[in-house]
């Protein structure tokens, strides 16, 4: 006689600092080891709600000192370290071997700590006093772009998600993330860490569901300032980029690199922070 799968838990979306059901009430199943976990399936309205939450949170996050943002990001790494076993178990549920899961969690923690140190240094790196042939000072410095929409790669679920989200936060932006539909539990665990890491409500919003139902709304939303697309499907990728033209968003298109990429030095760098910052230039008369 066949054994019936047991529905263990229904996971929710993370919007505006709270775990909420999808507006449509829909879920999709994730089966593993004889159990079925129901994952919230975001709708177009959920995407709009997440963008609204990010826009509301952005002025406060932008105006915090870079040092304070670094403290908060570092606290996030501490929370994940304290819950290491939970994250390892989550990755194993989605099919990772024990050694691979432990390696991924360690790499994710290290990456967050690395970016935490850049929060109060990126401005010094990107700022400059420009030479001009007039009696003026010409100074350039970076400012955050605003609300950034992120489409996370399908896998690996944790290290790739963290690698695209954390540099956006370090630059003073807020994020609306479409999580992997293949490994959504990593995104749920990450959201649970965010809640307890002093990250203000609305700074990070995480949606689970199917890309065809969420990405077009995110890409075309007029209150999203930039997109980071990690989509292997060329047709979906091109369609999202085209929708972004409605309000001239900044768009980065990368496809989905192989898993090993996320463990290399190429998967982190100050340029990942710079990608979603605007360089503003100020002219000021020189004193006599």
- Provide the β-strand partners of residue 130: 138
Pick the closest to residue 161 from 210, 126, 208 (CA basis). 208
Helix or strand or coil: residue 50? helix
| pLDDT > 70? residue 4 | no
Q: How many other C-beta atoms lie within 10 A of the C-beta of residue 175?
A: 23
Strand 136-144 with 128-130, pairing:
antiparallel
Which among 35-49, 159-173, 271-285 has the top mean pLDDT? 159-173
| pLDDT the model gives residue 10 | 67
Q: What is the pLDDT of residues 31-78, one digit of tens each?
A: 766 677 889 999 999 999 999 999 999 999 999 999 999 999 999 999
**CA–CA gap between residue 244 and residue 222 (Å, rounded):** 8
| pLDDT the model gives residue 225 | 96
| pLDDT the model gives residue 53 | 97
Which pair of tokens denotes residue 242?
């085209």
Please state the three-class secondary structure of 143-198 as a single string.
EECCEEEEECCCCCCCHHHHHHHHHHHHCCCEEEEECCCCCHHHHHHHHHHHHCCC
What integer is the mean pLDDT of 192-200?
93
What integer is the mean pLDDT of 89-111?
93
Q: DSSP 3-state helix, strand, coil percentages of the chain (rounded to 5)?
A: 45, 25, 30
Confidence band for 102, pLDDT divided at 50, 70 and 90: very high
Domains and CATH numbers, the chain: 16-257+268-285 (3.40.605.10)
What are the phi and psi torsion angles at 185 (to 5°)?
Answer: -65, -30
What integer is the mean pLDDT of 24-34?
79
Which pair of tokens denotes residue 246?
């409605």
Q: Which positions ≥6 away from 288 have C-beta within 8 Å?
A: none
| pLDDT the model gives residue 142 | 86
What integer is the mean pLDDT of 224-252?
92
| pLDDT the model gives residue 203 | 97
Give the DSSP letter of residue 2: P
What integer is the mean pLDDT of 234-254?
91
Task: Please report which helix (H) or strand (E) contains residue 33, including its range.
Answer: none
Q: What is the pLDDT of residues 108-160, one digit of tens each?
A: 999 999 999 999 999 888 878 777 777 777 788 889 999 999 999 998 989 99
């Amino acid at each position: 006689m066949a054994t019936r799968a047991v529905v263990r838990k229904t996971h929710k979306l993370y919007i505006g600092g709270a775990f909420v059901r999808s507006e449509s009430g829909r879920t999709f199943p994730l089966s593993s080891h004889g159990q079925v976990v129901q994952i919230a399936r975001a709708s177009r309205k959920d995407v709009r709600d997440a963008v609204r939450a990010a826009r509301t949170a952005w002025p406060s996050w932008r105006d915090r000192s870079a040092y304070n943002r670094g403290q908060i990001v570092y606290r996030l790494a501490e929370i994940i370290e304290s819950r290491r076993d939970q994250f390892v178990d989550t990755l194993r549920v989605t099919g990772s071997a024990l050694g691979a899961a432990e390696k991924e969690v360690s790499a994710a923690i290290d990456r967050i700590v690395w970016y935490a140190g850049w929060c109060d240094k990126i401005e010094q790196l990107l700022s400059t006093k420009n030479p001009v042939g007039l009696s003026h000072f010409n100074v350039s410095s970076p400012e955050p772009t605003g609300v950034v929409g992120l489409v996370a790669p399908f896998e690996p679920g944790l290290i790739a998600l963290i690698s695209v989200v954390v540099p956006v936060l370090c630059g003073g932006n807020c994020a609306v993330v479409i999580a992997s539909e293949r490994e959504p539990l990593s995104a749920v665990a990450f959201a649970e860490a965010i809640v307890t890491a002093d990250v203000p409500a609305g700074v990070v919003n995480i949606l689970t569901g199917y890309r065809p139902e969420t990405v077009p709304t995110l890409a075309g939303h007029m209150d999203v300032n930039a997109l980071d697309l990690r989509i292997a499907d060329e047709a979906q990728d091109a369609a999202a980029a085209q929708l972004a033209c409605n309000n001239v968003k900044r768009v980065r298109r990368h496809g989905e690199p192989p898993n090993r990429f996320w463990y290399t030095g190429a998967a982190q760098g100050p340029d990942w922070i710079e990608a979603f910052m605007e360089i503003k230039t100020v002219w000021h008369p020189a004193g006599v």
